[in-house]
Amino acid sequence: MTELLVTNLATGYGDLKVVTDVSLAVRSNTVTAMLGRNGAGKTTTLRAIAGLNRITAGTVTLAGTVLNRLPAYRRARLGIAYVQEGKRVFRSRTVDENLQLGTFASRSRRRDNKIIDEIYERFPMLAARRKTVASALSGGQQQMLAIAQALVAEPDILLLDEPSAGLAPTIVAELADIIRDLKARGLGILLVEQAVEFALAVADDVVVVDRGRRVHAAPVTDPGLRDAIRRAYLAEDASARNTAAGQSR
């Protein structure tokens, strides 16, 4: 079993401290959802785990290996794949070329074509469009391609940043099935989402963050979980009301 452990993480952008104390765990065959209002530090946490933001305090370990000082490409080689928000694919490249590019992070000695064939079996909508440039795909297809490109590297841990954003309900339902299938195949998944019900429908464990700190962590079945989520999201509403009140004076 592979385990990603994030302990008392602090990170940000230059002198701007965004995350000050976040801890979580992601294990094989599980989905851990990270929930919180906009600006709570969710994406920044993922970026620090992937190696795109400098860790200023705390530790990130994968299967016992401390990742803090390793560059992003080394973390990818060790088994971390990051699907960023916004359907980030190579839009001028075909579906097939996007997947070929994903093999550069692969740790496998298997033939790249075999890996890609397996991806096409898992994503038949992409197989039917393998010679289509990514810019001509629908939003849902681009999101599937972004996930597929990450999977070509055969990671142990998959970081997903708001994969359901802007997708039609039917595609969101298909995405949920894909996440469940990946979990069943042994991946550990860290899912950041604004769509709370979608996240709760696929998660095993949930971490709630607010203002850069973890404020609640529990299994998805925990009876107090929804109250913790509600408090974190209501904090945004209260902050907005206070700001508006101050501006009206």
Sheet with strand 205-210: strands edge to edge = 65-66, 55-62, 3-13, 16-27, 213-219, 205-210, 30-35, 188-192, 157-161, 80-83
Q: Is 143 left (phi over 0), alpha (psi -120 to 50) or beta?
A: alpha
Minimum mean pLDDT range among 44-58, 116-130, 177-191: 116-130
What residue spans define the domains of the chain?
1-79+159-244, 87-154
Q: How confident is the model at residue 115 (pLDDT cuts 50, 70, 90)?
A: confident
**pLDDT confidence of residue 239:** 47
Q: Give dist(CA 190, CA 202) in Å, integer.
A: 11
**pLDDT at 134 > cutoff 90:** yes
Express each pLDDT in 214-239 by its tens digit.
999 999 999 999 999 999 988 655 44
| Contact indicator for 177, 185 with CB cutoff of 8 Å | no
**pLDDT at 175 > cutoff 60:** yes
| Contact indicator for 9, 22 with CB cutoff of 8 Å | yes
CATH for 1-79+159-244 is 3.40.50.300
**pLDDT at 112 > cutoff 70:** no
Minimum mean pLDDT range among 134-138, 214-218, 245-249: 245-249
